[in-house]
Structure 1
Amino acid sequence: MEKRTDVITMKGNPLTLVGKEIKVGDKAPDFSVVTKELKSYSLNDLGSGVKLISVVPSIDTGVCDLQTMHFNDEAAKLKEVTIVTISMDLPFALDRYCAAKAVEQLKTLSDHRNASFGENYGFLIEELRLLTRGVVILDKDNIVRYVEYVPEVTNQPDYNQALEEVKKLL
């Protein structure tokens, strides 16, 4: 498995990403994650339209909460776009979080079983077995049209740029 260094840091400390870096123009790789209802979920389950994948280390942290709530709010406005959040959190934690925060506009997904998304999309942090922060946007043909690996994991992604890219695809 490919490993990449000098791509991200957490609180200034360099970390290693496992998996091949995905780039604009790539065909989106498949993945297998789990819903909060403990059901398998893959690329096909995202449907045939435009897709925004919000990637967070853990739903229980402040920045991840901000990111998830931001995209939940955007999902209410962008009904024709499938928006999901993927983390390594257990499905039970995702269920608890969604109930407590009234997250109903996007789906939260867990990559805890086998890190399939993390490895296939190059978001898995080797040292922590968490996903790094970022955003991936796929068009209706599952071609990557935007990808952001946030360089400092404790920072938020570029929401404006991601949403601008989504709107170009509508």
Structure 2
Amino acid sequence: MTSVTFKGESVDLQGQLPELNQPAPDFSVQDVEGQSVSKADFAGKTLLISVVPDIDTSVCSIQSDKINDYAKIAAEDIAVVTISLNDNDSLKTWADEHEAVIPLYNEASKFGKDYGVYIPELDKLARSIFVIDSQGQLAYQELVSEVTNEPDYEKAFAAVEEVKD
């Protein structure tokens, strides 16, 4: 079983991390308006998925701001999204306060289990980034070993640039 630390304490993750260079697991999440979106909706685009444990914390907000800034300059063939277990009101409030251009999605932990980042003990998702190429293959993943740390943005953005069509 995979684990990460949260404030120095080990917590187990549920599910398996997907394998690189293999088809990324399908997923379905809901946006803040309640519309479902799936992996298939991003077919033909490179997709960067930013996963945050709680949009209302400082590190998650910093991560989402950096991902949002990247989305503002990303090419049209790149989709950038953030996924969290936060409720729609929290996600909407954050998006409004931060002038977000990235869609924010919530889900009931299925994405987290399918991507191996669900922390049942905390009912949160582990901080992570996934890049799926335009053919639906998982091209990059980073599972941040300490949930309160930031991911390596430059590596994630470089992975997007490397695989985009």
Which interval holds the TM-score relative to the shorter structure? over 0.9
- Does residue 53 of the first structure (1) align with residue 49 of the second (2)? yes
- Aligned counterpart, 1:99: 96
Corresponding residue of 1:15: 11
TM-score, structure 1 normalization:
0.92
**Equivalences, count:** 163
Q: Does 1:130 align with 2:124?
A: yes
Following the alignment from structure 2 to structure 1, what is the Cα–Cα distance between the partners of residues 44 and 110?
21
Q: Aligned partners of 1:45 and 1:117: how far apart in 2? A: 15
Q: How does 1:146-157 map to 2 (within 5 A)?
A: 146-157=140-151
Opposite residue 4 of structure 2, the aligned amino acid is: I
- Distance, in Å, in 2 between the alignment partners of 1:166 and 1:97 is 25
Which piece of structure 1 moves more, 129-138 or 43-52? 43-52
Task: Determine if contact 1:34/1:91 at 8 Å carries over to the other structure.
Answer: no
Please say if residues 72 and 103 of structure 1, whose CA atoms lie closer than 8 Å, have aligned partners that are also in contact. Answer: yes
> Identity across aligned pairs (percent)?
36
The question of whether the paired residues in 1 share the 8 Å contact of 2:4 and 2:144 is answered with yes
Give the Cα separation in 1 of the matches to 2:97 and 2:10: 33
> Contact (CA 8 Å) 2:43, 2:135: kept in 1 or not?
no
- The answer to whether residue 90 in structure 2 is matched with residue 75 in structure 1 is no
Residue by residue over 1:124-150, the C-alpha shift from the partner in whole angstroms, topping out at 9 and shown as x without a partner, is 002011100010000001100000100
The letter for the 1-side match of 2:38 is S
- Paired with 1:116 and 1:28, the residues of 2 have a C-alpha distance of 14
Aligned-residue RMSD, C-alpha: 1.1
Could you say what secondary structure the match of 2:59 adopts? helix
For 1:18, what is the secondary structure of its paired residue?
coil
> Offset at 1:20?
1.2
The runs of 4+ residues in structure 1 deviating greater than 6 Å are none
Cα distance, 1:100 vs structure 2:
1.2
5+ residue gaps, structure 2, are none
Q: Any idea what the Cα deviations from partners look like across 1:91-147, whole Å, max 9, x if unmatched?
A: 12111110111112x111001xx3111011011002011100010000001100000
TM-score calculated relative to the size of structure 2: 0.95
Moved more, 160-169 or 51-60: 160-169
